[in-house]
Chain A
Amino acid sequence: MSDSDSNQLPEWQPSQPRRRSSLPGTGDLSRRLMDDMDPEVLEFLKTTVNSFIKWDLVIFFFENPHTTDTLDNIARYIGRDAVVIKTDLEDLVKAGVLEQHASGTLTVYSLTKDARIREKIKHFVSASDDRQFRVKAIYHLIRGTR
């Protein structure tokens, strides 16, 4: 390579957004971390349990499967503020993980009776008992929050 060639640097284009995969090794690391995850669990993590609050809620309802209570009380049970969990709780209702009912003037939440979704939850919770899985899943959730 001649000196004149080395001086011809590619034109800098600041308006062009930088792709994440262009960060050294990030794309590969992410792919490597997720590649050996069970596809069904990975899908559940990506589409349904895609926040730490949803993770807390899913674990809570799995461990206490017949819970029937209000937003405020459920927030207390998982040690968080009702305002903070409201959106995530409603997202889990939309995803079919939880059911919402009216009880008099109260709105109460409980775990779905759908056996297929309960099986997915069981599969997810069982996978999250493994430390390696948790590390990968946390990495995925942190990336998702960026």
Chain B
Amino acid sequence: MERVKTGITGLDEMLGGGFLSQSANLVEGAPGTGKSTLGMQFIYGGITQFDQPGLILTFEEFAQQYYEDAANFGWDFRALEQANKLRVIMTSPEVSYSDLGGVDGRIQAMIKEIGAQRILVDSLSHFDRLSDDPVARRGILYGFINSLKREGLTSLLTRESSALIGELESPEEDVAFVADSYLMLRYVEIESAIRKALVVLKLRGSDHAKDIRQYEITRNGIEVQSRFEGREGIMSGSPRRMADSFVEAFVRR
């Protein structure tokens, strides 16, 4: 199967080579875990390393904010727009859903104009306001994601998680169900310090790494590092040493 490399050190290896071509990939995490950075890096890497133009649909942050955030990593988004390799589109879920669902939409025109192959949708959480009915909402998301696939785009869809640390919420099944892959970003407390963890929970039709990796947001973007050695309960946010849990399980009985 054709793979679309993210260009992010360590992540492509976890994904068995990258995302599947024309797939929808959900990245969920709490504020500050780096969802948008990961998405921007996916778009920037696509353009600069693989010559795949990209689009960013933002429903909350101003486009100008993306230009500035990207510049902090040394990524010149304005220059990429001038070179017709990128478009940062500030819009809303209702407009993007309507535009991509119809014909001759403005967003569709921009996809064709630059020959976009990748898209970052930041964030899918804003679709919640389109309907209170979970069945209707799932229908809207399903239609939206399929319209991205129809346009030949490999998408990275962010979704906010309100849990900063500690117990995981139940996953948002409506999105997780329709997405082809599901990545989770988490804060983890280890020895009075906050670190970040990444796990690939799902990758439809393909094998992927099952371990939980540390990652850091460096001045070059996200760098996925080694797995958490000798600890368990990472995704709870408060992992324990494996020796402690062994003692708890056997010795203290």
Residues of chain A within 8 A (CB-CB) of B94 are 70, 106
| Among B95-103, B177-185, B224-232, B233-241, the stretch in contact with A | B95-103
Do B101 and A66 touch across chains, with their CB atoms under 8 A apart?
no
- How many Å from the CB of B70 to the closest CB on chain A? 14
Do B62 and A77 touch across chains, with their CB atoms under 8 A apart?
yes
Complex: how many Å from CA A101 to CA B88? 19
Q: Which of A64, A70, A73, A103 contacts B62 (CB 8 A)?
A: A64
B90 at the interface (CB under 8 A from A): yes
Q: A68-B91, A103-B106 are in contact. Are A63 and B63 (CB under 8 A)?
A: yes
Complex: how many Å from CA A57 to CA B106? 19
Do B106 and A63 touch across chains, with their CB atoms under 8 A apart?
no
Instruction: Annotate A16-37 by CB proximity to B: 1 below 8 A, 0 otherwise.
Output: 0000000000000000000000
B107 at the interface (CB under 8 A from A): yes
- How many Å from the CB of B16 to the closest CB on chain A? 34
Q: Which of A66, A70, A103 contacts B90 (CB 8 A)?
A: A66
A-contacting residues, B57-92, CB 8 Å: 62-64, 81, 87-92
- How many Å from the CB of B37 to the closest CB on chain A? 20
A104 at the interface (CB under 8 A from B): yes
Complex: how many Å from CA A73 to CA B110? 20
B105 at the interface (CB under 8 A from A): yes
Residues of chain B within 8 A (CB-CB) of A108 are 95, 99, 106
Q: Which of A64, A68, A73, A101 contacts B64 (CB 8 A)?
A: A64
Q: Which residue of B has the minimal Cβ distance to A67?
A: B90
Q: A69-B91, A69-B92, A106-B95 are in contact. Are A63 and B101 (CB under 8 A)?
A: no
Do B63 and A66 touch across chains, with their CB atoms under 8 A apart?
yes
Complex: how many Å from CA A67 to CA B110? 11
Do A64 and B63 touch across chains, with their CB atoms under 8 A apart?
yes
Complex: how many Å from CA A141 to CA B62? 27
Residues of chain B within 8 A (CB-CB) of A68 are 89-91, 95, 99, 106-107
Q: Which of A64, A65, A73, A77 contacts B95 (CB 8 A)?
A: A73
- How many Å from the CB of A80 to the closest CB on chain B? 15
Instruction: Annotate B183-201 by CB proximity to A: 1 below 8 A, 0 otherwise.
Output: 0000000000000000000
Instruction: Annotate A97-141 by CB proximity to B: 1 below 8 A, 0 otherwise.
Output: 000010111101010000000000000000000000000000000
Residues of chain B within 8 A (CB-CB) of A101 are 106
Complex: how many Å from CA A135 to CA B63? 28
Q: Which of A67, A73, A77, A103 contacts B98 (CB 8 A)?
A: A103
- How many Å from the CB of A112 to the closest CB on chain B? 12
Q: Which residue of B has the minimal Cβ distance to A99?
A: B106
- How many Å from the CB of B52 to the closest CB on chain A? 19
Complex: how many Å from CA A68 to CA B62? 12
Residues of chain B within 8 A (CB-CB) of A66 are 63, 81, 87-90, 110
B-side residues, CB < 8 A to A, are 62-64, 81, 87-92, 94-95, 98-99, 101-102, 105-107, 110
Subset of 13 A-B contacts with CB under 8 Å: A65-B81, A66-B87, A67-B89, A68-B89, A68-B91, A68-B99, A69-B92, A69-B95, A103-B98, A104-B99, A104-B101, A104-B102, A106-B95
Top 4 closest pairs, chain A to chain B, by CB: A104-B98, A64-B63, A67-B90, A63-B64
Q: List 11 additional A-B contacts (Cβ < 8 Å) besides A101-B106, A108-B99.
A: A68-B89, A68-B90, A73-B91, A73-B95, A77-B90, A103-B99, A104-B99, A104-B101, A104-B102, A105-B98, A108-B106
